[in-house]
Structure 1
């Protein structure tokens, strides 16, 4: 019987997450407060930017030095990850002249100061942008919580001698919901073919699983140093294919560098809450609105 083991939100996109006991689903279906803030290159419109490398967002894909920042948050509410303040810690960077430092920024009022502080560390100007309603997720269609199983994290961590454990793999993959009491790759049950969705319940909320997440360079990088693990993609693909369950069959799974599931939350479920310990139950496959994938 699958259940929610961990809930994690990322109030400042591409920075450390924060664990939650309970999380409310906000407008557009994201966990409330998840990716509320993001860093972009100075002058970039976040609505026009791409989350890919060199797409305008200052994220782990484009800026390995971002991994060396540590973030802790003060939240609006135990079930709302919108940060009212963030404390950032940065190491020294002799190449940019930035000294090691720790600073607390109240949000949103200290947003410009935060951007200047991070820009000083990186060596170029950045802006802090804010989307208080739906956040700034990578997937602009399927805004819902991303889902993976703890057994998957443990299995994939075991593919790499340099990855310490499932917790490190979670930090590399950055899911919102970790499910326990189920086998590795159980989350692959939460997507079907194109044009279809898998309805599943988590506590009192119902979500639609739609797409296996295409991975990028970020999981190959150490979550605290940004150092890249040589051969990560090749090892991942080889082992993903070798361990692929029968239930992963889907025309959405069109290559082996996919892991974790993107979801959509129907509007009627906005405001519902997910909590650690909630049962997760697959309800069935249904047609998906043509506007979504």
Structure 2
């Protein structure tokens, strides 16, 4: 049976994610705590993995109840930052680490997601397993950390999510929350890098595109995809379902739209 397998948010944009058992959909249509904080430089540009592979040198954890961020740096020491009460100290430490003047901003109503008019990213477990099989250097958990989806659906076929974008695409429901596919997610440089070391897989993009093309499902709408360097979809939660809670193990059902 199709089910919500994993629910992952990335409290500080560009840093490690945390798995949750449940989370609310915010009124803005995103998952609570996802990209709630982000580091910005003096020009107002965000610092993330697209911009620097230095983010892979950090191992982070986040307590969603207390907003305490733990950061283990390459020197082996772990720093603790209370992002509710002492954000300035975190700003100072990250500024020193990245050698830039950075501010740590917060948006609890929507988060600093890339596509602020859209909602959660969705992929299936089978899709991640398939992609991991394309590269000797990649595991299932590694694929999860490279591709950074919010919602992972189990009990379905590889590339299940592709059916929800394009002309006459159906929607799907997780528990009481309805999702509509908006667009495939074109990938950046981040998935080619080892999430721990930042070491890239040689020829990653070319291999990915070849494999994606030959495994592209015949039932998906190819016109909805600009290129084959795309994986997972970005969705929109309908307005009346915002404020509703998602829970791991919630059933997932396809819904034909009118």
TM class, shorter-length: over 0.9
Find out whether 1:87 has 2:70 as its counterpart.
Answer: yes
Q: Provide the residue aligned with 1:58 in structure 2.
A: 47
Which residue is equivalent to 2:37?
A: 37
Q: 8 Å contact 2:94–2:102 — kept in the other structure? A: yes
Gapped runs of 5+ residues in structure 2? none
The answer (yes or no) to whether the contact 1:192–1:198 under 8 Å persists in 2 is no
Q: How many residues align?
A: 258
SS of the residue aligned with 1:160?
Answer: coil
Q: Any idea what SS the aligned residue of 1:247 has? A: coil
Q: How does 1:1-293 map to 2 (within 5 A)?
A: 1-41=1-41, 43-45=42-44, 56-76=45-65, 84-92=67-75, 100-142=76-118, 144-163=119-138, 165-193=139-167, 198-285=170-257
TM-score, normalization by structure 1? 0.84
Structure 1 consecutive aligned stretches of length 4 or more whose deviation exceeds 3 Å? none
Distance 2:174 2:100 in 1: 43
Structure 1 unmatched ranges of 5 or more: 46-55, 77-82, 93-99, 287-293
Verify the 8 A CA contact 1:191 1:211 in the aligned structure 2.
yes
| SS of equivalent to 1:60 | coil
Aligned mates of 1:120, 1:12 — CA distance in 2: 17
Deviations 1:223-263 (A, max 9, x none): 11111111110000000001011122242212101100101
Inter-CA distance 198–116: structure 2 relative to 1 (3 Å threshold)? farther
Structure 1 CA distance, aligned partners of 2:165 and 2:257? Answer: 8
- Contact 1:172 1:222 survives alignment (8 Å): yes
Alpha-carbon shift at residue 134 of structure 1 (Å): 0.5
TM-score, structure 2 normalization: 0.96
- Does the 8 Å contact 2:4/2:252 carry over to 1? yes
Q: CA deviation at 1:197?
A: 5.7
Distance (whole Å) between structure 1 residues aligned to residue 127 and residue 60 of structure 2: 26
Following superposition, the deviation at residue 66 of structure 1 comes to: 0.6
Cα contact 1:65–1:225 (8 A) shared by 2:
no
- Report the RMSD for the aligned CA atoms in angstroms: 1.4
Whole-angstrom distance in 2 between the partners of 1:244 and 1:216: 19
Looking at structure 2, the residues matched to 233 and 242 of structure 1 have their Cα atoms a distance apart, in angstroms, of 14
1:71 aligned counterpart, secondary structure: strand
Q: How far did 1:59 drift? A: 0.4
| Equivalent-residue separation in structure 1 for 2:208 and 2:32 (angstroms) | 32
SS at match of 1:29: coil
SS in 1 for 2:131: helix
Q: Structure 1 residue 109: deviation in Å?
A: 2.4
CA distance in 2, matches of 1:285, 1:106: 45
